[in-house]
Chains A and B, each alone.
Chain A
């Protein structure tokens, strides 16, 4: 059933291409940064490059963010939220007295990733419990709520790599249902020794810059990233004199119920999620200006997703994966990609999909390899996660 869109009144982004939406877009189009050997943690697996973020992020939202208390995941999320609120013309004081929901998607953000602490515990060295205190203080949804210092309804969504797509979509639904008046939603995750080791163990980790949808793709690169958006009902924006120029027009979510790590070969869950998002926005596949795919560059993901898009999309619809610029930011990926997609709609230009050179018959699509003007006002952003989670956002925007 078609539902009204909700307005996106502010966006914030921290990723390997920059620490704001504007900086990231400029670097993507002018001088994109590539993955580098991991430098923020010690690992014998240095042959797998990662997309890292520059900076320490020790202050945001008017608060000090000591690294011994807040994980990097929380600190970059706070920076992204600060940018999103500023873009929306909102200060923290403006949230007082409003029913605000805060939804943050993550994976690493809810785990204890201090390997030195755990190794010391395991070796019977009885380490101090500071790292556990940091873990307790750094649940992303709760930590951001605490840092804002105003009453908000917090949610930490942990749907693997679909987490922040779900966070944004659920935020839309809470607004639709009248359960809240303003939504702050997005995701954050960081590359750390644990997930770096884990993806290497799965043999889906690339030693080179990733190449989504390419015949010779070797796997993913991990990335650190955070993105947040401010969502409001359009009528509320207009009542305070604003004019929305970006919207979440639809959201869909569905479960594969198939396998813990592999997607359904025919992308069964994603097909239903995309269908629901398009239906909610009242838009057919032919109305899409482009698709920002999950596109991890793993063999299974790209094949399942590519087959779906080959069947679903109008021929010639540009498909990109921005993971060649950000890496796979796991629980943050959906929000990072939604923000980049909305920025593309606003700027009227679409980046090329990085790393692609050879068509894979099994995938069935070739991503867009040239920069191009955006023709249309709707874009689709998709996510697929471990555990069979699938989600899609229908985004709408136009030239500012």
Chain B
């Protein structure tokens, strides 16, 4: 069975939506590089990275709604809002929801420890602790949009997005929900930057694919025409992917949710081709091969 991709969007350092992503893919504007401070024996070290441009959140949410949401959750909420904000409450209630993440609430876990170290264990923040669960972004989306269907978070580094695609297909085939909202989201924990820096890795501001990156992509999956995706070993016109397959990391940076960006790039590419039938294989190490096609 194929799944139809009824909508998709991305958010990166270049901004929200397909135009921003297409710009990064095709015109390669200079990467908007931010810096992340990590602690070192000699003080702090500034590491260039790609910070997601979340300025559009104000278009969807009042500031009060996001007071307790961490960056991982804000990325997920922004992506979800862009895809389902216009849906009726009934349609949103019936949605299935899967969040795929490499790090989940890693940063918030460290923030919680900061509160325990700063004020003593007895003064650790319950408010922060309540957001340390890795399904916090999923919960924020469910609460914000009234989603009541099956919901799930996967956190297994680069395998999260391919795993989420497989489970979304299982849900749709089973008839659990008419559509699945698949949200891939990751921020960049400072400790991760420290780890990569200690390993001596190079972060080149001129080469975005070397920079740790925040961001994500979301897909509304269901039935119907347009883009469709299925597991298949059938011949393809092009290969996109990670771990050896041609990648577009220059347009989103280094992230464990890269497979979601590759799928978005494939959607964009097939949209821009004349006629039907262009097929793009999506290949991720240790995972089934997916085939994206565009019809009509």
Contact = CB atoms under 8 A, between A and B. Distances in A.
A260 B131 contact: yes
B155 A156 contact: yes
Interface string B63-96: 0000010000000000000000000000000000
A126 interface: yes
B121 A155 contact: no
Contacts of B150: 253-255
A123 B39 CA distance: 8
Contacts of B14: none
A197 B118 CA distance: 13
B121 A132 contact: no
A207 to B, nearest CB: 13
A198 B131 CA distance: 11
Interface residues of A, number: 65
Contacts of A201: 124-126, 129
A255 B149 contact: yes
A112 B39 contact: no
Contacts of B112: 194, 197-198
B134 interface: yes
Contacts of B105: 111
A332 B102 CA distance: 20
Interface in B23-47: 39-41, 43-44
Contacts of B110: 112, 118
Interface stretch (A172-180, A230-238, A318-326): A172-180
A13 B274 CA distance: 57
Contact of A139 (B142, B146, B157, B170): B157
Nearest to B110: A118
Contacts of B148: 254-257, 268-269, 272
Contacts of B153: 157-159, 387
A129 B199 contact: yes
A379 B146 CA distance: 31
Interface string B281-293: 0000011100000
B166 interface: yes
Given A110-B155, A198-B132, A258-B143, A124 B163 contact: no
Nearest to B109: A111
B154 A254 contact: no
A136 B169 CA distance: 28
A358 interface: no
A107 B136 CA distance: 12
Given A118-B113, A122-B114, A253 B157 contact: no
Contact of A153 (B166, B169, B191, B198): B166
Interface of B: 39-41, 43-44, 68, 97, 104-106, 109-110, 112-114, 116-117, 120-122, 124-126, 129-136, 138-140, 142-143, 146-157, 159, 163, 166-167, 169-171, 173-175, 191-192, 194-195, 198-199, 286-288
Given A139-B157, A194-B109, A389-B139, 9 more contacts: A44-B120, A118-B113, A121-B191, A132-B192, A154-B286, A155-B154, A200-B121, A253-B151, A260-B136
Interface of A: 1, 43-45, 107, 110-112, 115, 118-119, 121-126, 128-129, 132, 136, 139, 141-142, 151, 153-160, 166, 170, 173-174, 176-177, 179, 194, 197-203, 253-261, 268-269, 272, 385-389
